[in-house]
Structure 1
Amino acid sequence: MSDRIPSLHSVLSPTASVKNAQSSLRSCSYNNANCQGMTTRKLGALAGGKNQPKNPIKAVLAGGIAGGIEICITFPTEYVKTQLQLAESVKPPKYTGIVDCVGQTVRSHGILGLYRGLSSLVYGSIPKAAVRFGVFEALSNRVRDSNGMLTSTQGLMCGLGAGLAEAVIVVCPMETVKVKFIHDQSSANPKYKGFFRGVVQIVKEQGIKGTYQGLTATMMKQGSNQAIRFYVMTSLRNWYRGGDPGKEIGLLTTGAFGAIAGAASVFGNTPLDVVKTRMQGLESHKYKNTWDCAKQIWQNEGALAFYKGTIPRLGRVCADVAIVFMLYEQTVKFLNIVWPEKTQ
């Protein structure tokens, strides 16, 4: 009997390849229906990628955990990027560059000044990443092939859907509050004394609409952001696997792919990010709408103004995307242990 039925270890081992599973399947006796059924079910799971969360709730949990940890690590770069984007072209310029921005902030407010507005992003990054990965998995599970694989185009479209969803549900109000907090930091007498008091004050003064400034620009930015990132990630993963959907992608490789995807999104949509930031700042009343904001930047500051804050944003986003994808993958692995996927 032992020469005809594969051991459980050879089929269920985490290191078992699809090829080995197929070999084990062929070695089963066709008269042994239980063995054949068990191996076929496991083969399907391996072929689909054992870490792929088919349950969107699991993706929501993993995304939220990853997003919360990531923003606490990378926020200072977000702060500097936002300050440079808010600084309009005046002579002499308020900041001569990244180092000067950091120096002025630390001298005026101490090292914790670089974390002004962190609370708004912590409260927002958890649901943002949760919505992003939850929607992406919900959409992608509908279009994956029998091996659980996505094409690059499918990755782009699912990423676009995830980006638009997170923009409307979470990102626009979160980013508006964050930008106002950071912009308020540069005032002689900051008026926002804390996250919740600040939100209440914004709503009292401007209504709920005040937390949705720059919605169009935010949707354009987030939609293109996630479309580019998931397109690049899907393309790199498919290239790395080389036709073997069961091939594991290591943690550092995932991080490297994430950094590349983040860099691609920075160069692809920083102009949208600059417009969004201006529309959400304390001086947003100067602009009639998103298009008028872009027009005024072009006329008054020139084309290069659309790439203000690119370098700090590049550092922040590359680290952001790399960390989030690595944390997401590891969290999904843990959840798959304590909350196994159904194999049927």
Structure 2
Amino acid sequence: MTKEDSKQQPQHHNFPWKRLVAGAVAGTADVWACHPLDRVKTQLQNNPGKSIAATFGDIVSKGKGFSGGVHSLYEGILPMTAEAIFKVGIRYFAFSWFTEQYKTTLYPGSEMTKSQNFVANLCGGAFAGTIESFAVVIPCELLKVRHMTQETNRSFSLVFKDVLRDEGVRGLYKGGSATLLRQITNHMVRFPTYYAVTDYLKGGDHHKHLPVWQNLSAGFLAGTLSTLVNNPLDTIKTRMQKQGQNLNSMQVIRTIYQDGGMRAFWAGCFPRILRVGPGQAITWAVVEAVMDLLGR
């Protein structure tokens, strides 16, 4: 271990309540900027044979949501905004709380090295993914998939009532294992990647404030990498949560493979990158900006 490594400063500050607020604001910005791409991604995963252009056309031509047409791309935006406020707020709160506990428990009174920070961020990402999954993501993802893939034009609230009536509360957690694994792997990649990139850009000066474009770039890289790593889990999750689907995870995996081989597991990967990459760029940049406004 080098002298420089042993004196590594923390890569981020831990003020959980401030990160809760910052995450809520960032989640709202993310949804409003990227919701149309999320719609296209979800449709592609349920219809892997279609092109992006054809899928886009199908969504617009159905004329659902607002007054129809292009506005259909924003169908379900309000409930998704509500989800994002809680989801992203909880995510950053959980990550910040966990990494603070990790540091004070394992390394009290001393600074962590780069490798120790990396492990803390890795574990913190897994913890954040777990908490947000059970608290918000699993039931909201199921409702989103049901709402986006329905044949009729029913509101989000009616879809919610249908699930409770037909499947009970347990129905809201259908496909939960795949969603949980997706969220855990998402943040086990995103948090360490983001902080590794920003640490490099700061050149060892951990009190330095990066320009917005560098925070955007680091967030985009973190989001893109996580998408490439776990797109198969997202595809499995989407198929399991589709209405009328009563297969377990292994049966869904076999069905996906039969539909298009290994490539089918990466269905919707490109639009998902287009959705997640910019979404994470916006999320991280907004989080950093709000944290600055709150005085870190």
Give the TM-score normalised by the residue count of structure 2.
0.87
Q: 1:218 aligns with which of 179, 190, 195?
A: 179
**Pair 1:202 & 2:163 matched:** yes
Counterpart residue number, 2:290:
331
Deviations 1:233-282 (A, max 9, x none): 12112222333222222211011000000110011000000000001111
Deviation at 1:173, TM superposition (A): 0.4
Contact 1:48/1:246 (<8 A) preserved? no
The 5 Å alignment of 1:103-118 reads 103-109=57-63, 110-118=69-77
Counterpart residue number, 1:183:
149
The 5 Å alignment of 1:131-146 reads 131-144=90-103, 146=110
Deviation at 1:201, TM superposition (A): 2.3
What SS class does the counterpart of residue 302 from structure 1 fall into? Answer: helix
Counterpart residue number, 2:245:
284
- Choose 228-237 or 218-227, whichever is displaced more: 228-237
Moved over 4 A (4+): 144-150
Deviations 1:300-328 (A, max 9, x none): 43111000001110011001100000111
Distance 1:120 1:81 in 2: 18
Counterpart residue number, 1:82:
42
Counterpart residue number, 1:58:
18
Q: Unaligned regions of 5+ residues in structure 2, if any?
A: 1-8, 64-68
Q: Unaligned regions of 5+ residues in structure 1, if any?
A: 1-46
Contact 1:119/1:195 (<8 A) preserved? no
Distance 1:149 1:168 in 2: 32
Higher normalized helix content (fraction of residues): 2
Deviations 1:26-82 (A, max 9, x none): xxxxxxxxxxxxxxxxxxxxx667x83x33122111111110121011000000000
Q: 2:197 aligns with which of 233, 236, 243?
A: 236
Contact 2:146/2:159 (<8 A) preserved? no
Identity %: 29
- Structure 1 residues 205 and 229 mapped into 2: Cα distance closer, same or farther (>3 Å)? same
Give the alignment's Cα RMSD to 1 decimal: 1.9
- Structure 1 residues 182 and 293 mapped into 2: Cα distance closer, same or farther (>3 Å)? same
The count of residues paired between Structure 1 and Structure 2 equals: 276
Counterpart residue number, 1:72:
32
Deviations 1:91-131 (A, max 9, x none): xx5x3x11121122222311121122323321211110011
Contact 1:163/1:219 (<8 A) preserved? yes
Give the TM-score normalised by the residue count of structure 1.
0.76
**Pair 1:168 & 2:137 matched:** no
**Pair 1:100 & 2:40 matched:** no
Q: 1:251 aligns with which of 208, 212, 216?
A: 212
Contact 1:140/1:155 (<8 A) preserved? yes
What SS class does the counterpart of residue 232 from structure 1 fall into? Answer: helix
Deviation at 1:298, TM superposition (A): 1.6
Contact 2:23/2:92 (<8 A) preserved? yes
Q: Rg: which structure is higher?
A: 1
What SS class does the counterpart of residue 101 from structure 2 fall into? Answer: coil
Contact 1:149/1:245 (<8 A) preserved? no
**Pair 1:297 & 2:251 matched:** no
Contact 1:71/1:122 (<8 A) preserved? yes
